[in-house]
Amino acid sequence: MSEQEQQAPHGRYEMSGIERLGLRVSNMINHPVAQIQRWVTIHRLDNDGEREWKEVTGLLSETDGIDMTFNDDGSVTLRWEASAEEDRLVEVMERVEEAAPF
């Protein structure tokens, strides 16, 4: 599809189905609650095409560190472990009170 075919009537770029689904899934994975619990369930919406859904779930299944569970209702639950960066302990510096110079 050419760039002209993807533009909306007012000259704006219109996202493809795969772009829209990918963005939605990415937002769900990156949501603060999902990051804390380290899992998220993704539901296929009525406007998600079969081809797009298969492509996105295929990409997710190839991603290291993500476990996928296909649920009976057609949704997919993604689970992941904390990265080494998230496991680092935060050092707390104790404030040392200095004697007054006078």
Per-residue pLDDT of the chain (102 residues; tens, 9 = 90+): 455 555 556 678 888 989 999 999 999 999 999 999 999 999 999 999 999 999 999 999 999 999 999 999 999 999 999 876 655 444 444 555 666 666
Residue 58: predicted pLDDT: 94
For the chain, helix (H) and strand (E) counts, in that order, are 5, 3
| The token pair that represents 100 in the structure block | 């007054």
Fill in the amino acid letter for 16: S
Q: Which domains are present in the chain? A: 11-81 (3.90.1070)
* Burial class (CB within 10 angstroms; exposed 0-12, middle 13-18, buried 19+) of 20: middle
101, two tokens: 């110079």
Residue 40 tokens read as 């998220």
